[in-house]
Each structure stands twice: as structure tokens, then as C-alpha cells.
Amino acid sequence: MGNVSLNGEWKIDWKNWNQTEDSNHSEFTIVPGHWTNSLSEKYPTGFAKLSLKILIPENTKTLYLQNGITRNAFEILVGDESIYKSGIIGESFSTETPHLNVQTVAIPETKDREIKLSLKISCFHYHICGVATPYSLGNHAGINKSFLEATSRDIFVLTSLLTLAFFHFVLYIFWRDEKTHILFASVCFLAAARLLSIGETRFIYNYLPLGVYEIMVRVNGISFVLLYLSFVLYVREIYNDEKYKLIYRVNFFVASLLFLALPLDLLTFSKFLAFHLVFSLFAIFGLLYPIIHGVILKKPGARLFLFSVIATMSLFSLDILTEFAKKGTAYLAQYGFLVFGLSQALFIADRMIENFKNKERLKQEKESAEAKVDFKTTFLSTMSHEIRTPMNGVLGMAQLLQQTNLSEEQKEYLNLIQFSGDNLLLLINDILDLSKLESGQFELHLEPVPLQKFMNDCINLFKSQADPNKLKIELEFLNPPPAYLKTDQRRLAQILTNLLSNAVKFTEKGAVTVIVETIPLNGNSVRLKVSVKDTGIGIPEDRIINLFQPFSQVHSHLTEKTIGTGLGLAITKKLIEEMGGSITVQSVYGRGSNFSFQFASQFQSEAIVTDEEQEKPEPIPKITQGSLLAEKYPLKILVADDDPISQKVSSLFLKKLGYSNLQTDNGEKTLDMVRSESPDLLFMDVQMPDMDGITVTKCIRQSKTITKQPVIIALTANVLEEEKQRCLSAGMDDFMTKPLLMRDLDFMIRKWAKKDLVPSNK
């Protein structure tokens, strides 16, 4: 009629394999379950014979028996005939060779319509003995079907878990930042590996030789620990919060306890393993806290995650009961793993969808931020042009004024004007290149700097601004400085200007002292250490941490003292770091501050001019050198600029250099002048009415009526790198920024005159 499970009372003969006669004092044990006597008292490890008499009807066809999981070695007999053996039974630990195997065997035909079934079992290698899962009796088709169904279930779960593991491993390869994929793949892979030895049929034992049982018990224990640890890491990756740290640490500790038992003998290890399973189950329940908390916080997929964990833990609990032979259920952990794997796959898919939504939102926010940045860049570019154009007149006329006969006092005032203008220009550059500042992309222009004169110029600039009766500004050299220090003069000036400006701003009376020390290093290198001390209001200790943040002002409550952008110290710190140095600050609120910076540099006893610097002339003190340049390089120069002041400055500069230049103030006139006059050099303003410099350049380069292509040099107040690339791409040969300096004009003329005026002609 079908398969019959041989559950219930079996006769047990403890430590007696040969007794066959029925006895009024026979003991009975319940199968499946731990072997016990009639009073449910457990027998220890040892050996016994379990017997069962099965009555069958007449004309019964051949029956088949499928054994359950029986620890540790056993032999199945029908009457006195042995029909199957698993392992080698013995009466001691040394004579037993344990092995677990689930097989289907045929029952020999009987004539008296009864089957006297008996099991000889020995159990010395495991602390729980007896029959763990039911024995089944039935016809060939029924038993085979039952066995194949159990095997198919194991294979189905195994392949499903391996597929999930492989799929999420591939996902991890493409999304390395999402560690949940590799951790989930590890959980699925380890669960699949354990299924080979803990599934319904434990089919791995069909292919293992005798003598590996002890190894497999320890391997099962290690694989459980690895699975446990992977699961905890997986949960921690999803719910990674400081308040859950203790829960995760407890689980890590509990999981690792099993490693302490590995050196123990197998029987003791198996006992430890069983209790470790129970202890682990209670520890795992602690993981429900972050998971349930995630449900409360309505995190994506939290409910699905909770369901899968509870389902897995429930089936895992049933397996523990089976392990202790309290229930006769089949091993169900594999189904828990499958429920967990499939539900977690849905959970991760939900997270991925949410991540894609977040990335799309971030993409839109990024595009919005980039649009704002583009707007800011355009705005700064426009402001750059508007500010640098009048600066062209200020600095240009200051340079021309230097060529006249001046008293010593006038020269000093003019030097301060020039110095202040240069620093203002540098500050404008830093504001325009704020994004470059934050990314740390600076270009340092190293040149020999007369250190002592340089420091004195910086100090004199601030001395002229401060009241000597209230505030003293002093310079002190702790040791003789080198004649020349190779560094970026403008950047160093900006650093000192920022620090001195802050010191003077927040010091009403007392002194500001600049202390310079040069520390010799190897060879011709020194470490320059500069300290700017003041007796001002100081900085509160809790605000020092924000001191070097952009747009941050620690004394913002002092409105009259804090006019500025808050960029000074942020720029200063970045500049010093780009120079390979560092800056520190010490301050006592109400008593003053001490800003100290240092960096390594090379020194030299005299200004050695490199080949590159040789091309760049020094500022021209008198007009006598100008005529020599025009005589040496007789050129026809055209300046296209719509600003009258810029025209005046460039015209006077060229006159000082000995040139009578041509000038135009718009694009159409520039094209006509190039056709009619054939200039050698064309200084082209980029922004002009009616036709900008870019368009004019393209017309010149593409024109077939212009027989002589001039060298075109961009002349613009826009200093952004994008503007430079735009000019060069349009066909211009070089790039100059306003305000126009005489030394730059001199350098550009020499540079292209030496190249025989061969333009790119793009």
C-alpha cells in the first residue's frame, strides 16, 4: 500500500548482540531517538542490539528497507542474515570504525509472514547514540521514490544556494563598494557546503572512505563557525551602527569558542559541539534586535530580512532538537537555508533598487551642483575681467611711474603701491581658483628670493599701515639668513601677508613680531621656520579646530574686525602644504597668538639664473633698455583692445620698449588692419564689441586673403584654465593675462622674436 515508517518501540538488548529469545524482562527503546530503557533512562556510549518483529500479509512482494541516520556504525540483519553494514561495529572505541550512510536494501523473502528485523549498533565516537531519523519499509517503487525525493530536495537546495552564491559573487566583482554581495555569497556557499554532510540523505558519505568520520565531525564544526561568522558579518554590514557593536562582538566571541575545543578528543568535542549549537542559537537571537530596529525605522527590505532570519532560526532549532534526539523529524536546516537565501536575494534586490534610486537622485543633485559651479565659474570669470581691467591701469601706471625721476620717499611709497597691487592680484587669483585650491593643484614657480630684503618689504608694508605709538611691528632673525632662498616668491608673500594681516587686525596695542630661523639640512638645503607672534585678543581653544576651514571666521562676533572672506588662513595652510611644509598655531585667549610655519628649500649664495629665467627679463628701471629691444627685434605690433586705459598702458609700455604700435578697438577694424598692415605680432583682447577675439582669430586663420599670418597672443582678464585652452584651440599662439606687466610684455616679444615669428597657423 506504500511506505511505512518503523517508528515506535523497539526491543533493545544493551551490550548484547547475540540474545534472540524473547524475555519477560525485555527493555524497549523509542525509535527514532536516543537509546533508552523502558523508564526513559539514557544509555551511555556503548553497543546494543535493537529488534523489531514485522508482520506482513500473504503474497507480499519483495520489500525494501531504507535506513535512517544511525550513529555510529551499524549492521542490519533479517533473522540471522546480514543485509547491510555501515562502518565496522565494535565493542570499544578502538574496534569501531564509524560511518554514516543512508541506503536502500532489499528484504529477503520469508515464508512465515513475519520479518525479524534487528540492528547491531555501536556508538563510541559520538555523545548521542541511537537512531536519529526513521527507518522506512515499502515496495521498491515507493522506497526508491522516497529516497530520490529526499536526494532531489538536497540537490535542489544545494544548487539553489550555489547559484545564489555565484550570482552575488559576480555582483561583487562589478560593485566592489557593496560588500553585502560577497558576504551573502559566503553565507550561501558555506550553507551549501554543509548541506553535503547534514542533509536528509548526507550523500557525501556515500563517496567517502571509511576512517574519515572523525575528520568530518570536526569539519562540520568548523564549517558551522565559518557560516555563523559570515552571517554575523553580513548582518553587521547591513545594520552597521555603533549601538549594535556589543551584539556583534558577543556573536563573534560565541562563534570562536568552538576553536578552543578542536584539540579535544572526538567524544568530548562532539559534546562541546552540541552545546555550542544551543549557545549559538541564543546568541543569534540577539541579532534580532538590530533587524527589528530596522523594521521600526522602516529601512528598505527590513521586514523581508526579519522573516527570513526567523524562518531559518526556527528550522535550525528543530535541527538542534533532532541532534539531541528529542524529535524524530528529518533534518530541515537546508530548507531554512533555502528560505533564507531566496528571501535575502529579494532583500538585496530591494536594496539595489533603492540604491539605484539614490544614485539617480545623487546624479540629479550632482548635475544641479555642477550647474551651480558653472554659474559660479561664469560669475567669477566675469568679475575677474571687471576687476583685473582697472588693475591693469593701476599696476601699469605704477610701473611707468617707476621709470621717472623720484625721490627716495616717493620710491618707497611707490614700491608699497606695487607690492600691495601684486598681493591684491594674487588674492584675486586665489578666489578665482577656489576649486583648484581645494583640490590641491598648485603650480609653484621657484626662483631665487633675497630673503632678508623680501622679509623687510613685507614688514615695511604693514608698518606703514599701523600706528607706531600703539603697535610695534618687528622683524627678528635668529641666525643669519642665506642670501637667496629658492622658493615661490608670490606664494611666500601671500602666506606672510595673510598671517601679518590677521595679527595686525586683532592686535590693538603691543607688538607683532616676525621671527625667522633657518635650520641647516643636508647639502644646500635649509628648513625655513617663520613665526608670527602677536599680543592680540587670541583665539578660544574650542574654535582653533575651525581656524583653517574656508569661509570660517573665529571672531565673527567682532564685526568691525572681521571684514573679509574667511579664506586667508585656509589658503595659507594649503599653500604651505603644497610647498611641502606645515603650519601650527598656539594661542591663549586674551593674551595673543603664535602662528608658525616651516618648509624645506634650497639656498644659494647668489642669484643663479636658469635658462628659463634667462628669457624672462627683470623689471626695466629706465627707458634706455627699451630702445635696445626694438633695435634688436624690429617688429610691427598690433594691439586690439577696446578698453581705453588698457590701450594707453600697452601703448606706453611698447613706447618704452622702442615700438610705435598699431591699435584697434573692435573685431572688424582688427581684421582690416591685419589685411592692410600685415603685423608680426597681434595682441588680441578676447572680449571686444561686435566680434570677440576668438572669432577674430578664427577668421584670420581661415582667411585666404591674408598673405602673412601674424603671431596672435591672447590678452585677457580671464585667468581660468578653460579660457586659456579656448584661446589656444581657436588658433592663438600664446596667452597673457591682465593686468599687463612690462616684464611679461618684454618676455613675450623676445620669446616669439627668437622663434623667427613662426605662428601655429591653425
Number of helical H runs and strand E runs in the chain: 21, 25
CA dist 28 and 347 (Å) reads 50
Work out the widest C-alpha separation in the chain, in whole angstroms: 141
**Residue 740 amino acid letter:** L
Q: Is residue 467's pLDDT more than 50?
A: yes
Please report the pLDDT score of residue 252 as a whole number. 92
> Is domain 629-754 in CATH 1.10.10.10, yes or no?
no
Q: Is the pLDDT of residue 77 over 90?
A: yes
Cα–chain center distance at 477: 46
Mean pLDDT of 91-104: 90
Residues of the chain with pLDDT > 70, as a percent, come to 84
The stretch 344-358 carries a mean pLDDT of: 74
Read off φ and ψ for residue 366, nearest 5 degrees: -65, -45
- The string of pLDDT tens digits covering residues 263-278 is 999 889 988 988 888 8
pLDDT greater at residue 754 or residue 126:
126
CATH of 4-138, one of 2.120.10.30, 3.20.20.140, 3.40.50.1010, 2.60.120.260: 2.60.120.260
Q: Which stretches of 665-709 are assigned E, i.e. beta strand?
A: 681-685
Assign 249 a pLDDT band (cuts: 50, 70, 90). Answer: very high
Out of 96-110, 132-146, 315-329, 517-531, least confident range: 315-329
Most confident segment among 292-301, 351-360, 494-503:
494-503
CATH of domain 447-556+563-604: 3.30.565.10
**pLDDT computed for residue 611 by the predictor:** 43
Q: Which residues of 357-393 are buried (b: 16+ CB within 10 A; e: fewer)?
A: eeeeeeeeeeeeeeeeeeeeeeebbeebbebbbebbb
Q: What is the pLDDT of residue 607?
A: 55
Question: In the predicted model, what is the mean pLDDT of residues 465-493?
Answer: 86
**Would you state the pLDDT for residue 559?**
40
Per-residue CA distances from 366 to 285, 356, 381, 437 (Å): 42, 15, 22, 20
What pLDDT was estimated at residue 562?
44
Task: Give Rg (Cα) of the chain.
Answer: 45
Q: Taking the domain 144-360, which CATH number applies? A: 1.20.1070
* Residue closest to 333 by CA, chosen among 185, 182, 224: 224
498 contacts 424 by C-beta, under 8 angstroms: no
pLDDT tens by residue, 13-27: 999 888 765 555 678
DSSP 30-46: EESEE-B-TT-PBP-SE
Domain coordinates in residue numbering, the chain: 4-138, 144-360, 447-556+563-604, 629-754
Q: What would the mean pLDDT of 739-762 be, rounded to a whole number?
A: 74
